[in-house]
Amino acid sequence: ASAGTDEKPPKFLIVGAGAAGIAAASKLLEKGYTDIVILEAQNRIGGRVHTIPFGANNIDLGAQWCGGDIGNVVYELVKGHFQFGDTGIRYSNSHCYTSDGHVVDPKLYSKAMNLADEILNDYENMAKTNKSLGEYFQINYHKALEDEEFKDVDKEFAELMTDLNAKGMAALYASDSWYDLSANLIGEGPGTQGGYQQYTWKEHGFKIVLDFLMKKLPDPSKTLPVEEKIHLNKEVTNIDWTSNEVVVTCADGSEYRVDHVIVTVSLGYLKKHHQTLFTPPLPAKKVNAIENTGFGTLGKIFLEFKEPFWPTDVNDWAAYSFLWKKEDLDNVTGTEKEWLIDITNFLRVDAQPNVILAFTAGKKIRKFEEISDSQLIDDCMWLLEKFLGRTLPRAINVQRSHWLTNKYFLGSYSFGSMATQENDVALGKDLAETLSHDGKPVVLLAGEATDESNSGYVHGAVDSGWRAAREILHYYPVVSEITGA
């Protein structure tokens, strides 16, 4: 593999077989490097890409949407080889209810949401503020509502809409609260250039992207031997980069001696374990980035019904939105059902005629991950019936995510928090900086949180894996020249 040199081919080790790990391995294999080991702690590949059979086809407990068609390497990878689906969610086909079982005037709902969108998509303005997203939104929302055009939006409704947007944004950015989100970093960040956000992987689920990365698709004869390099159920417990040769130790006592290590574990895992995972400890700048980059949890619940109780034409229905009235909020607070407060929507799922999906985020997510399946169905049915104001058939099946309580993730994805801003972390960049010995890159962090422009997304993770692989390839100029790496 070390074309043009007499030296032994370099040995690579990749920690984690999620999108970033698989992308890094694919790039190295593509360039002719074969001495690669990928260690994965769990009994499956994919990481936060986790597609499972459910309902009519598959569902995604982790990443689900392609995440935009602009500046998206995943979109570029499959473009022309894959016909995307589309969830088709618009305000015009969303039905909004209040907790006393009344439907909100659709025109009023659309108007209020369009105004909210205008404020939340004004990235230029956001990039200029030092406030949290919550504060930024409230200032601008209240200011805009004073306009004659919005005189039909009464004060109580405006408050309910603010609460809906607060929860929606917390879920979108996987933070406990929108007061943790830095409007500035969002304004300068990835969401500003993503393009159309609703492309789906239809019945295949997101795991089909792993097949494209490994080149099983579109032409199976070109498959890269990534999977044969993966060792499952191998938890890495220490990466010793004291010398030129990196020593990687696993929980089962096995040891690997390699030239280059690419670490793709989640930021949640790094926050908890970085002190013991690395010997010597990571430099202060990286520790600052690990500690002060945001990492929260988005939870997903899929409910399957015998048949839909919602309108089946996408033009008529794609989502329910729920507004909690103050008295209902007070009644549920402090009870077993309190976790339901953080559910903002139920959505249509592409290629799943009998399934709806809800998101939840926030501090009560642990409870959501821990209750039994039957309790989960009971609670969701109670919520749906309360808001829709009618009796509904009980769901026959449920699946939910466990990203916070799964010890190999400890959350869902990263975001630019107020702490990130206040502690001068260069989002993604500080984490990505290579650890070298005499110019030799020995340890590289990859994974979504290390991507400068698309952190939080699968395409950010893929980009980060390719970036780490490229960085090492540049260290071997002879091969680079021959293969054009």
Ligand X SMILES: Cc1cc2nc3c(=O)[nH]c(=O)nc-3n(C[C@H](O)[C@H](O)[C@H](O)COP(=O)(O)OP(=O)(O)OC[C@H]3O[C@@H](n4cnc5c(N)ncnc54)[C@H](O)[C@@H]3O)c2cc1C
| Residue 266 is a binding residue for ligand X (CB under 6 A) | yes
Smallest gap from Cβ 3 to ligand X, in A, equals: 29
* DSSP collapsed to 3 states, 180-231: CEEHHHHHHCHHHHCCCCCEECHHHCCHHHHHHHCCCCCCHHHCCCCHHHEE
* Residue 241 near residue 280, CB atoms below 8 Å: yes
Q: Which residue in 27, 31, 48, 274 binds ligand X (CB under 6 A)?
A: 48
Region near ligand X per CB under 6 A, out of 40-48, 316-324, 340-348, 386-394 = 40-48
Put residue 296 in one of left, alpha, beta given phi > 0 → left and psi -120 to 50 → alpha. beta
Smallest gap from Cβ 473 to ligand X, in A, equals: 19
Q: Which residue in 13, 14, 17, 485 binds ligand X (CB under 6 A)?
A: 17
Structure tokens, 54 = 């459910």
Region near ligand X per CB under 6 A, out of 26-34, 46-54, 162-170, 372-380 = 46-54
| Residue 230 is a binding residue for ligand X (CB under 6 A) | no
Between 380 and 462, name the residue whose CB sits nearer to ligand X.
Answer: 462
Region near ligand X per CB under 6 A, out of 47-55, 160-168, 223-231, 305-313 = 47-55
DSSP output for 13-78: EEE--BHHHHHHHHHHHHTT---EEEE-SSSSSBTT--EEEETTEEEESS--B---SSS-HHHHHH
Smallest gap from Cβ 46 to ligand X, in A, equals: 7
In whole angstroms, give the CA distance from residue 30 to residue 28. Answer: 5
In whole angstroms, give the CA distance from residue 335 to residue 440. Answer: 57
| Residue 401 is a binding residue for ligand X (CB under 6 A) | yes
Q: Which residue in 24, 28, 36, 39 binds ligand X (CB under 6 A)?
A: 39
Strand stretches in 379-439, DSSP E:
397-400, 413-415, 435-437
Q: Which residue in 15, 29, 341, 357 binds ligand X (CB under 6 A)?
A: 15
Region near ligand X per CB under 6 A, out of 18-26, 82-90, 254-262, 340-348 = 18-26
Give the chain's length. Answer: 485
- Binding track over 349-388 against ligand X, x by CB under 6 A: ----------------------------------------
* Residue 272 near residue 312, CB atoms below 8 Å: no
> How many binding residues for ligand X (CB under 6 A)?
40
C-alpha distances out from residue 232 to 11, 29, 446, Å:
19, 19, 19
Between 75 and 476, name the residue whose CB sits nearer to ligand X.
Answer: 75
| Residue 282 is a binding residue for ligand X (CB under 6 A) | no
Residues 404-463 that bind ligand X (CB under 6 A): 408-409, 412-413, 447-448, 456-459, 461
Smallest gap from Cβ 349 to ligand X, in A, equals: 12
Structure tokens, 157 = 């409704």
Between 140 and 414, name the residue whose CB sits nearer to ligand X.
Answer: 414
Beta bridge partners of 46: 18
In whole angstroms, give the CA distance from residue 8 to residue 134. Answer: 55
Reduced to 3 states, what is the DSSP secondary structure of residue 167? Answer: helix
Tell me, what DSSP letter sits at residue 333?
Answer: T
234: closest CA among 25, 35, 44?
A: 44
| Residue 51 is a binding residue for ligand X (CB under 6 A) | no
Q: How far apart are the first and last CA of the chain?
A: 13
Task: Give the type of residue at 34.
Answer: T
| Residue 200 is a binding residue for ligand X (CB under 6 A) | no
In whole angstroms, give the CA distance from residue 128 to residue 186. Answer: 11
Smallest gap from Cβ 48 to ligand X, in A, equals: 3
| Residue 269 is a binding residue for ligand X (CB under 6 A) | yes
| Residue 321 is a binding residue for ligand X (CB under 6 A) | no
Between 47 and 85, name the residue whose CB sits nearer to ligand X.
Answer: 47
| Residue 16 is a binding residue for ligand X (CB under 6 A) | yes
Give the residues lining the site for ligand X (CB under 6 A): 15-21, 39-42, 47-49, 62-65, 67, 235-236, 264-266, 269, 298, 300, 401, 403, 408-409, 412-413, 447-448, 456-459, 461
